[in-house]
């Protein structure tokens, strides 16, 4: 059946600040050492007062601008009231009717890889995170435990329009979001540590005979701790909702058709209904009298624009147009983060884009992984690699020799020998890697080798293909800088005469 899946995501992202949102306690993931990052403010002690972290607000602005949101020139902070032990004030400082940003978007590829889905961003707002409750899972009803290290750390809430149409799009939305946020340096988006969290709202629009459609009850899915789990949970929900609709016919808004919350069980790969809230929530938002409004000027926005790097999507497109990369290669580079993309760009500028992409995505990434280093710590700096590649594209050395130089440089680095462009020349000279480009010289060597190995030459002429290997080997030994493929072609030509 041809139903439409309708998904909206609510993403929570922790900001990379040094201190918490309203106090000077460290903003640091520290689950093994509970309740050591607190003070009267984040403990919600009577009499304590919040003061807004400037950096947190700036990072939030940066995010919203990267998502192409409109920025409010006036924004305020509201209290959202609910009781939970990890929320010591019994209200969360958040933003209600005047969030600092609204109406942005993020583009993701559709499932066929061809189209682009523009997913609207309703709003991004800034709020404080809660602490963490640890529940007794033994079933013996032991006390729950509360750790307030995380309480009061800065958190952005990013709410998408229900524009996402498949679980795959939801995954790519989150991947793209994560890439964007790490790219501009506002968050590390580590889902294991909870710095990126996602809840999903999903229902189906099922066509009816009259050409319209009915909507299934909206389900909010929670507890998905990886991007892959979001996709799996949405796939599961799609099937489950359709089956349930076929069995019950219950539509959104019918009795029993209200929004429900389901949790995702990643071990069993199923969603389960979380015990329905016995009461409707009433958060009683009102402006926090302890905080004053914030205004934003055009100059501030310009300054942030000025210090924000090129975003992944336009950069990916530019890599394709400027350096002739395939979309795949461009994505591999961009997805590794801005440092690798910068590295690539330096390499490509001094040589050839495609060559640079091959080397960066294969040789460089492989060696980085083996050495367990970041691109910033990688011994062969981009100007050096660029110089190697330039020699290859200029046919000064062969690709094979290029790889030999690359490996030699890494060996030098491992032996603490300083690496420079000069060092490349030395290696080429020492190892006789200079390409033999004068065709005459090579022809002479080939003739000599054939003469010296008459038997092998005859074998080849008589159809014994393998015999050529020995001839190629001998030519290559005579002439190190030669390209094996070219040598082979010339030998075949010569022997076919």
Partner 1 sequence: MAIELTRDKVREVARLARLKLTDEEVETFTSQLGHVLEYVDILSEVNTDGVEPMAHAVEQFNVLRDDAVRESLPREAALANAPKTDGRYFQVPQILESS
Partner 2 sequence: MTISGSTATELLARLESGESSSVEVTRTFLNAIDRQDETIGAFLFVNSDAALEQARAVDEKRAAGKSVGSLGGLPVAVKDVLCMRDTPTTCGSKILDGFRPPYDSTVVERLRAADAVIIGKTNMDEFAMGSSTENSAYKVTRNPWNTDHTPGGSSGGSAACVAAGMAPLSIGTDTGGSIRQPAAFCGVVGMKPTYGRVSRYGLIAYASSLDQAGPLANDVTGAAALLQAIAGHDARDSTSVNRPVPDYLCGLDQPLEGLKIGIAKEHFVAGLDPEVESTIREALGVYKSLGAEVIDVTLPHSKYAVATYYLIAASEASSNLARYDGVHYGHRAESFTNMVDMYCTTRSEGFGEEVKRRIMLGVFALSEGYSDQYYVKALQVRRLIRQDFDRAFADVDVILAPVAPTPAFKIGELVNDPLAMYLTDIYTISGNLAGIPCLSIPAGFSDAKLPIGMQLYGPAFSEDRLLRAARMFERVAGLSTLSSRLS
Q: Are strands 116-128 and 4-14 parallel, antiparallel or unpaired?
A: unpaired
Q: Are strands 70-71 and 101-109 parallel, antiparallel or unpaired?
A: antiparallel
- Give the one residue of 10, 29, 44, 55 binding partner 1; rule: CB under 8 A: 55
- 50 touches partner 2 by CB under 8 A: yes
Secondary structure class of 92 (helix, strand, coil)? strand
**Stretch touching partner 2 by CB under 8 A, among 38-46, 166-174, 427-435, 454-462:** 38-46
- Give the one residue of 116, 292, 395, 417 binding partner 1; rule: CB under 8 A: 292
The tokens for 298 are 């055009």
Q: Which residues pair with 26 in a beta bridge?
A: 19
Torsion of CA 22, 28, 31, 33, to 10 degrees: -90
Residue 328 binds which one of partner 2, partner 1, none, with CB within 5 to 8 A depending on kind?
Answer: none
Cβ 156 to partner 1, closest distance in Å?
15
- 274 touches partner 2 by CB under 8 A: no
Cβ 178 to partner 2, closest distance in Å?
33
Q: What is the dihedral sign for C-alpha 155, 161, 166, 168?
A: negative
Residue whose structure tokens are 């972290």:
53
Kindly determine how many residues on this chain lie close enough to bind partner 2 according to the rule CB under 8 A.
29
The tokens for 50 are 């919040």
Q: What is the dihedral sign for C-alpha 130, 136, 137, 139?
A: negative
Helices (H), 298-416: 298-307, 312-323, 327-335, 338-350, 353-358, 365-371, 382-393, 399-414
Q: What is the dihedral sign for C-alpha 245, 250, 253, 259?
A: negative
- 185 touches partner 2 by CB under 8 A: no
**Stretch touching partner 1 by CB under 8 A, among 242-250, 288-296, 392-400, 409-417:** 288-296
Give kind and range of the element (H or E) at residue 434. none
- Give the one residue of 18, 26, 36, 90 binding partner 2; rule: CB under 8 A: 90
- Give the one residue of 282, 299, 430, 451 binding partner 2; rule: CB under 8 A: 282
- In order of 404, 458, 483, the CA distances from 401 in angstroms are 5, 31, 9
**Stretch touching partner 1 by CB under 8 A, among 47-55, 355-363, 369-377, 390-398:** 47-55
How many angstroms separate the CA atoms of 256 and 253, rounded?
Answer: 8
**Stretch touching partner 1 by CB under 8 A, among 290-298, 372-380, 420-428, 472-480:** 290-298
- 377 touches partner 2 by CB under 8 A: no
Cβ 98 to partner 2, closest distance in Å?
14
Q: Which residues of the chain form contacts with partner 1 (CB under 8 A)?
A: 17-19, 24-26, 34-40, 43, 45, 51-57, 83-85, 133-136, 141-148, 274-279, 282, 284, 286-287, 289, 291-295
Q: Which residues of the chain form contacts with partner 2 (CB under 8 A)?
A: 40, 43-52, 79, 81, 83, 85, 88-91, 144, 146, 282, 284-286, 289-292
């Amino acid at each position: 059946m041809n139903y439409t899946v309708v998904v909206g995501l609510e993403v929570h992202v922790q900001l990379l600040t040094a201190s918490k949102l309203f106090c000077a306690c460290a903003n640091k993931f520290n689950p093994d050492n509970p309740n050591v990052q607190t003070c009267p403010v984040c403990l919600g002690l009577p009499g304590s007062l919040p003061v807004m972290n400037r950096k947190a607000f700036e990072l939030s602005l940066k995010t919203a601008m990267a998502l192409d949101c409109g920025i409010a020139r006036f924004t305020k902070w509201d209290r959202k009231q609910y009781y939970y032990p990890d929320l010591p004030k019994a209200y969360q400082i958040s933003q209600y009717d005047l969030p600092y940003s609204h109406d942005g978007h993020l583009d993701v590829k559709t499932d066929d890889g061809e189209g682009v889905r523009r997913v609207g961003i309703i709003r991004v707002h800034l709020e404080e995170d809660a602490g963490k409750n640890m529940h007794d899972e033994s079933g013996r009803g032991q006390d729950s435990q509360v750790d307030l290290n995380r309480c009061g750390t800065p958190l952005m809430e990013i709410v998408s329009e229900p524009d996402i149409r498949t679980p795959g799009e939801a995954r790519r939305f989150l991947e793209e979001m994560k890439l964007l946020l790490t790219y501009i340096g506002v968050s590390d988006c580590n889902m294991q540590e909870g710095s990126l969290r996602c809840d999903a709202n999903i229902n189906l629009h099922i066509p009816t005979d009259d050409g319209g459609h009915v909507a299934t009850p909206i389900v909010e899915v929670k507890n998905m701790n990886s991007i892959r789990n979001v996709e799996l949970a949405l796939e599961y929900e799609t099937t489950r909702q359709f089956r349930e609709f076929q069995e019950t016919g219950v539509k959104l808004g019918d009795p029993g058709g209200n929004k429900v919350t389901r949790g995702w069980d990643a071990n069993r790969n199923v969603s389960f209904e979380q015990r329905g809230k016995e009461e409707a929530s009433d958060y009683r938002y009102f402006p926090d009298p302890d905080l004053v409004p914030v205004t934003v000027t055009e100059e501030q926005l310009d300054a942030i624009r000025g210090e924000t790097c090129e975003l992944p999507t336009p950069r990916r497109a530019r890599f394709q147009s400027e350096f002739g990369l395939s979309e795949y290669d461009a994505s591999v580079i961009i997805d590794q983060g801005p440092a690798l993309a910068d590295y690539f760009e330096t390499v490509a500028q001094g040589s050839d884009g495609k060559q640079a992409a091959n080397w960066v995505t294969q040789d460089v990434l492989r060696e980085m992984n083996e050495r367990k280093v970041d691109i910033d710590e990688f011994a062969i700096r981009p100007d050096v690699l660029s110089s190697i590649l330039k020699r290859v594209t200029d046919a000064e050395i062969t690709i094979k020799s290029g790889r030999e130089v690359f490996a030699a440089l890494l060996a030098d680095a491992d032996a603490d020998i300083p690496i420079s462009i000069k060092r490349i020349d030395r290696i080429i000279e020492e190892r006789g890697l200079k390409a033999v480009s004068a065709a005459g010289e090579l022809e002479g060597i080939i003739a000599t080798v054939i003469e010296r190995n008459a038997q092998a030459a005859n074998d080849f002429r008589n159809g014994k293909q393998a015999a050529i290997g020995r001839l190629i080997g001998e030519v290559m030994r005579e002439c190190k800088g030669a390209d094996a493929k070219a040598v082979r072609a010339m030998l075949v030509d010569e022997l076919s005469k």
